[in-house]
Chain A
Amino acid sequence: MIEINHLTKRYGSLTAVDSISFDVAPGQVLGFLGPNGAGKSTTMKMITGFLAPTSGSIRVCGHDVESSPIAAKTCMGYLPEGAPAYSEMTARSFLDFIANIRDLKGERRRSRLDDVIARLALGGVLDQAIETLSKGFKRRVGLAQALLHDPPVLILDEPTDGLDPNQKHEVRTLINAMAKDKIIVISTHILEEVDAVCNRAIIIANGRILADDTPQRLAATAPSRRLDDFFRTITTQQAPIAAGAVVHA
């Protein structure tokens, strides 16, 4: 369970995230949509405990991210935007490092490493330095890192950004395969991705939630029945839209 309550982040006079509240339950794959600069990444950075909120609270698996950060971070896997990794390390030593930090031992450690290496098809590049890998493999190493301890909550910031169509398809298949019992939050501005993997979409702009429903129902409210038309309509309106027009799940 992720419970977010009146979460706000201000940078000086700029309000990046403006008092947003929502819950995510297991089994939900939440697509976090919004134009660039809408506050998607900032929200994800606060959920994962990288940024401290200005006000409001976040609980992940019952742990408050601010007051018990280690417990909250233990039950999350996070792929930061751009999939940063220690580029001079080999994929194998990087995953070993993550396994050590995640305190995986013995048989479970072996089976988890084998599992993510097989799932993300990293077998062929394990002994290559991460800086020498292609963008697609780098992204997959980042995903492997996030999945390694089989966390109940996955936060993926633009997991398919920069991947080719085949790789995008693989990542979506992977997310679908894990979706049953996990909480997965992905941010993206690729709307077809939301159709492909998400069973819930939240659209934010200027730090506020504009819509929150299944992708199908959101698309149905547009005259053309297309999610991208709905997205464009709702995010290009200057004033926050009337309360009645916000669709809630």
Chain B
Amino acid sequence: MHNICTLCKREFASYFATPLAFVFIVIFLVLTGVFTFFIGGFYERGQADLAPFFSYHPWLYLFLIPALSMRLWAEERKSGTIELLMTLPVTVWQAVVGKFLAAWAFAGLALALTFPMWITVNYLGDPDNGTIVAAYIGSFLMAGGFLAVGGCISAATRNQVIAFILTAVICLFFFLLTGFGPVINVFSGWLPQPVVDALASLSFLTHFSSIAKGVIDLRDLLYFATLIVAWLVANAIVLEMKKAD
């Protein structure tokens, strides 16, 4: 626990040692604003809720989260610090968990900084704040899912650009499109319904949108927990297998 904490703190601080933290947070906030007000039609809908804000999160995360996760391990490999890290008295899983938690905390910080959106909607009307809290939780869990996938892929390469692209593509095809309405419609034409449902149940979108409706179902929580743990385990295995490559 002590080691996880130390590794997590170092990793978290490293985001702020470069302009990465600033750039990421600014772009995240600007884009959430653009999507909510211009594309989501926040005012035009005339409803006091944050649905237009949250519904674009999966797509924003699709290309912003890989930018956070790509450096987690690829940079350690490239700079050779992986050799330093892996010869310190820490276990592989401590390193994997510590780094993941740092990235997740950073994503959480960026998400928390969208609070003016919540203040705005409360100022303008009388929204269901329970639903908003649930959607924030769902969005945070989904960010964790993206990060766990990205961390594992970052461990497999020393090239951050490859890590970025692979993460975005895998997340797009396996975890977003499988639950995306128009794609489901195409699939249901030539696949049996149970298969389509099974595919959809693998998707971030399906589980995120059900949490974002305000219902925190144990199955959705379990989905994200299982997904994160599974990818972290895969991350540790990848590291063990090709530590020195």
Question: Which A residues fall within an 8 A CB radius of B?
Answer: 45, 48-51, 69-70, 73-74, 76, 78, 80-82, 84-89, 93, 97-98, 100-103, 129, 145
Contacts and interface: CB of A to CB of B under 8 A. Distances in A.
B90 interface: yes
Contact of A101 (B6, B14, B79, B83): B6
Contacts of A86: 10, 14, 79, 81
B1 to A, nearest CB: 12
Chain B facing A: main interface SS: helix
B6 A84 contact: no
Of A51, A88, A102, chain B has the most CB atoms within 10 Å of the CB of: A88
Contacts of A80: 80, 83-84, 87
B17 interface: yes
B219 to A, nearest CB: 38
B80 A82 contact: yes
B87 A89 contact: no
B102 to A, nearest CB: 13
Kindly state the interface size class of chain B when it binds its partner: 20 to 34
B185 interface: no
B234 interface: no
16 contacts: A45-B83, A70-B90, A73-B88, A76-B87, A78-B87, A80-B83, A80-B87, A86-B10, A86-B79, A86-B81, A89-B14, A89-B17, A97-B10, A100-B2, A102-B89, A129-B17
Nearest to B88: A101
Given A51-B243, A101-B7, 19 more contacts: A49-B87, A50-B83, A50-B87, A50-B243, A70-B89, A70-B91, A74-B89, A76-B87, A78-B87, A82-B80, A86-B10, A88-B14, A88-B17, A89-B13, A101-B3, A101-B6, A101-B89, A102-B88, A103-B2
B87 A84 contact: no
Contact of A73 (B2, B17, B89): B89
